[in-house]
Structure 1
Amino acid sequence: MTDTRLQTMPATSLPAWLDATMAEYVESRMQAGETREQAEANKQKSLDQWFPGGQPLAGHHVWDVLDGDDTVVGYLWIGPFEPGSADWWVFNVEIDEAHRRKGHARRALDLGHAVAKDEGATSIGLNVFGYNAGAKELYERLGYGVTAMQMKLPLT
């Protein structure tokens, strides 16, 4: 197993991370079939709900993922889906391309699961876009099961 650990993302890094992750979110939603306007509206809804005033909602964790050399190799954001809920969510996990396939995402998620459980979570869910086969494979290996599935047929 890799020497992966989590460290709370410094407040000075949070704005740039939030801008980048929300830009990726918009692109992912568009790749999944939404218009730019729909994706931007969903981004704003997420920001308003999960990052009021630019800060994570109480109970949410945004961590840098570090390797054994203390190099930041990615990030993980988890928290309750609704304030005070025991149903938690992995809102985003990303490992930088150069550090993938080394076990960092798996270990970061395991560490995040432990924190969630310690803080009263009884379940943890996530969304994976259909085109992201690598992530889907990882989540299945970790024991995540499908709870719903959306499908779409482009008619263009």
Structure 2
Amino acid sequence: MTETRLVPMPADRLPGWLDRTMTEYVASRMRAGESRERAEANAQRSTEQWFPDGTPLPEHFVWDVVDEQDEVVGFLWIGPFTVGGSEWWVFDVEIDEPYRRRGHARRALEAAQRVAAEHGATSIGLNVFGYNTGAQDLYAQLGYRVTATQMQLPLA
């Protein structure tokens, strides 16, 4: 088994990460059926809400996921869904392709759950797009349960 640690993302890497993660967020929303305009508006709202001055709000954590070789293998962002709230959210988690299927996501999420609980969280939720069945399986194994399902029928 490999080691996985969460290390605060350095401030100098945060702007590039935020740009990349919001670009990927737009692409994911479009893949799930949303228009580019709506997806970009959602990304803009998220950035303004959670990173109003380019840095995460207090109690929001953006970490590098690091392996036993001290290599950054991915990232994880969690925080309260509302300022000061006890319901927390996994806003984004990604393990880089060459490092997947080694348990890094599982161990990173388990560590994040402990941090959330230490900060008064009573629950932690997340969104997973319908096409991401591998992530859905992992979340189910970790004890996450489905709280809502959105479905869409394209007409054009």
Length-normalised TM-score, structure 1: 0.99
Partner letter of residue 87 of structure 2? D
Secondary structure at 1:53's aligned position in 2?
coil
Check whether the contact 1:2–1:107 (CA below 8 A) recurs between aligned residues.
Answer: no
In the aligned structure 2, how far is the partner of 1:87 from the partner of 1:136?
20
User: Contact 1:75/1:94 (CA < 8 Å) preserved in 2?
Assistant: yes
The alignment partner of 1:21 has SS state of helix
2:4 — aligned with what? 4
Q: Show the counterpart of 2:133.
A: 133
Superposition RMSD in Å: 0.6
The Cα of 1:2 is off from its aligned counterpart by 2.6
Gaps of 5+ in 1: none
CA distance in 2, matches of 1:11, 1:104: 23
| Aligned residue number for residue 111 of structure 2 | 111
Residues 1-156 of structure 1: pairs in structure 2 closer than 5 A = 1-156=1-156
Residue 124 of structure 2 aligns to a residue whose secondary structure is strand
Aligned residues: 156
Amino acid at match of 1:95: I
Segments of 5+ residues of structure 2 without an aligned counterpart are none
Distance 2:8 2:64 in 1: 6
CA deviation map 1:96-143 (0-9, x unaligned) = 000000000000000000000011001000000001111111100000
Q: Distance in 1 between matches of 2:42 and 2:84?
A: 23
Residues 32-73 of structure 1: CA deviation (Å, up to 9, x unaligned): 111110001000000010110111011100000000000000
SS in 2 for 1:121: coil
State the Cα distance separating 1:88 from its structure 2 match: 0.2
Q: Give 3-state SS (helix, strand or coil) of 2:85's partner.
A: coil
Letter in 2 for 1:81: F
Partner amino acid, structure 2, of 1:108: A
Per the normalisation by structure 2, the TM-score is 0.99
